[in-house]
Amino acid sequence: MLKVMTGRQAAELINDGDIVSINGFGSVSHPDDIDKAVEVRFLETGKPRDLTMIFASGQGHNKKGAYADRLGQEGLVTKVIGGHFALMPQLREMIARNKIQAYNLPQGVICHLFRACAGKKPGILTRIGMHTFVDPRYGSGRLNEISADTWVELMELDGEEYLYYKTPRINVAIVRGTTADPSGNITAEKESLVVDALHIAQAAKANHGKVIVQVERLSTIPANPREVVIPGVMVDAVVLAPDQKQTISETYNPAYSGEIRMPHEEINRVIAEIREIDRKAGVARERSYASLIIGRRAARELKPGNVINLGVGLPEMVSIAAQERGIINDLIFTIEPGVIGGVPSVGGSFGASFNPDIIYSQASQFDFYDGGGLDIAYMGAMEVDQKGNVNVSRLGDKVIGVGGFVNITQSAQKVVYCFPFMGGGLDVTFDNGRLTIVQEGRIEKFSGSVQQISFSGNYAIKNRQPVLYVTERCVFSLTPDGLALVEIAPGIDLHRDILDKMPFRPIVSDPLKIMDISCFVDPGTRNPNT
């Protein structure tokens, strides 16, 4: 039967020491009213305490106290297992100060653990994460000194190495839908994502726990059984939140949920509006000529019909370049929380897609990814070393987390890394097909050895996986002997602008190709900063 209650009443269902999983992707489809209620109860009463929080996708919007980051209170949460932490600054600070145990596992692995927990399976066996920092030989995904648990073990089966990830015993699920019917069945007709809602709910019930669902509205008639996302038999509490937003940037966009098909011109207008919202909120990324060049060169790897994934940030420029080339409609975009087709949104609505072909579970999407379903993955990089290893997960005490990066980069048929040659203040321009460095960046992106291995170059070579590293001034390729410089931008000096600024000597191809001149031509009407 339907059990409607306030957020505070729902928060009272959570006990000290519970293992809590919260659904959502970034700031999309997140049950924020329940987060608020848990936070307020703790600040007023000191209860609940000593929670373990588990989430697959990043939760928040890169601002303190946003969404699940509200639970980053000392004493409220004492342990966290997550896929991505960059959007949760309050929680990250607790991790850096050793105030909380913390473990970073691949996003796809965690959502598969939700499914394993639902079926009372002890864990999952996979190659995902091999030779990265989650491999027990490289740290087991532990993020600080006080984190001593072992959630992953190296195992051998039939002469092959695998990683065995142990299943956590989730007993509280906090999820979101659109409508609850009289029996408590939950539908998600206005949601842009379903993410892990069902599997988290099933996991909690498997451990005789509580399922708390935030919805926008109640219905007096039974739901269409084909549209039910969470059966009422699993639901313990429904919290009504009539003002819940589809994403942090948009109240409701019917093109995200499949209610309408939006014309491409309208999509461009909405994307521009979202970028402006994020700019005013102080969470937008600056776009530049360097990012435009990188996006254009990276897009040269695309072929009609390619199934692709674009990482957040600079790789988004690949879609802009694909529009320039007129091939955007010949590509199949996917997003890890469970979207295939359409045009990926940006900023606070990242995770949603305009005009998607399908919206399904995140676990199913990672089944597709892990099985080699992606033709090309475009990812960013914070550090790259001479062996082609890539770090995206940690710099110093700054914990970022890998998100879906490990699943995607280890399984895609081809990987293209997109990043500036130097970070921090890089300013470039181009004229008549030649690149000019106006101001050099302050931060070296290439290092002798990356701080943390999020992607193993040697493992990619072993698996015969093609890998490119695209910057605004040159392109590298992964070879069995390390990084090879294969292309250079017109106007760039090999020694002054590249080799002298690297801590190691890459292989230099002979002949060294010139990057496609069309990457450095201003089309006239386009402003890369809009």
User: What is the predicted pLDDT for the residue at 284?
Assistant: 52
Question: Across all residues in the chain, what is the average pLDDT?
Answer: 93
Q: Are residues 321 and 221 in the same domain?
A: no
Q: Could you give the count of Cα atoms lying within 13 Å of 62 in the half-sphere of its Cβ?
A: 12
Q: Does residue 529 sit within a domain?
A: no
**Those residues with Cβ within 8 angstroms of residue 340's Cβ, 6 or more apart along the chain or in another chain:** 332, 333, 334, 356, 357, 358, 360, 365
Q: For residue 528, is it within any domain?
A: no
From 176, 210, 240, the end of a domain falls on 240
What mean pLDDT do residues 423-434 have? 90
193 in any annotated domain: yes
Among 177, 205, 240, give the residue marking a domain's end. Answer: 240
pLDDT digits (tens, 9 = 90+) for 439-448: 999 999 999 9
Q: Are residues 26 and 74 both part of a single domain?
A: yes
249 pLDDT band, cuts 50/70/90, is confident
Angle CA 373–374–379, to nearest 5: 150
Residues 472, 359, single domain; the answer is: yes
The answer on pLDDT for 287 being more than 80 is no
Q: What distance in Å separates the CA atoms of residue 142 and residue 151, rounded to the nearest whole number?
A: 9
In this structure, the answer to whether residues 208 and 296 fall within a common structural domain is no
Does 146 reside within a domain?
yes
pLDDT of residue 119: 97
Q: How many domains is the chain built from?
A: 2
Asked if residue 429 belongs to a domain, the reply is yes
**Residue 529 above 60 pLDDT?**
no
- pLDDT tens for each residue of 160-196: 999 999 999 999 999 999 999 999 999 999 999 999 9
Q: Are residues 186 and 312 in the same domain?
A: no
pLDDT exceeds 80 at position 43:
yes
Same domain, yes or no, for 345 and 196?
A: no
- Do 271 and 170 share a structural domain? no
Q: Is 526 contained in some domain? A: no
Of 248 and 504, the structure prediction assigns the larger pLDDT to 504
Does residue 525 lie in a domain region? no
C-alpha distances (whole Å) from 80 to each of 34, 84, 329 are 18, 11, 40
Clarify whether residues 143 and 232 are in a common domain: yes
Q: Are residues 119 and 262 in the same domain?
A: no
Kindly report, residue by residue over 440-476, the tens digit of the pLDDT: 999 999 999 999 999 999 999 999 999 999 999 999 9
What is the spatial distance between Cα 59 and Cα 521, in angstroms, rounded to a whole number? Answer: 39
What is the per-residue pLDDT for 285? 55
Q: How far apart are CA 39 and CA 14, in angstroms?
A: 12
Q: Mean pLDDT, to the nearest integer, of 291-316?
A: 92
What is the structure's pLDDT at 277? 74
Q: Considering the domain boundaries, does residue 246 fall inside one? A: no
pLDDT tens digits, 335-378: 999 999 999 998 888 899 999 999 999 999 999 999 999 999 99
pLDDT for residue 381 is more than 90: yes
- Edge-to-edge strands, sheet with 160-166: 123-126, 160-166, 152-157
> Could you give the C-alpha distances from 7 to 2, 76, 240, 449, in angstroms and in order?
15, 17, 8, 48
Q: How confident is the model at residue 89 (pLDDT cuts 50, 70, 90)?
A: very high
Q: Which residue has the higher pLDDT, 504 or 347?
A: 504
Alpha-carbon span 516 to 368, nearest angstrom:
33
Residues 33 and 64 in one domain: yes
236 and 261 in a single domain? The answer is no
Q: What is the pLDDT of residue 526?
A: 42
* pLDDT tens per residue across span 111-158: 999 999 999 999 999 999 999 999 999 999 999 999 999 999 999 999
Of the pLDDT bands very low, low, confident and very high (cuts 50, 70, 90), residue 314 is confident
Q: Assign residue 24 the CATH number of its domain.
A: 3.40.1080.10
Domain boundaries, position 418:
257-520
Per-residue pLDDT at 282: 63
Residues found in the chain: 530
Amino acid 169: pLDDT: 96
Catalytic residue among 336, 383, 472, 487: 336
| Tokens at 17, concatenated | 């020491």
What percentage of the chain has pLDDT greater than the value 70?
97
Active site residue 286: no
Residue pair 207/18 in contact (Cβ under 8 Å)? The answer is no
Specify whether 267 is located in the same domain as 230.
Answer: no
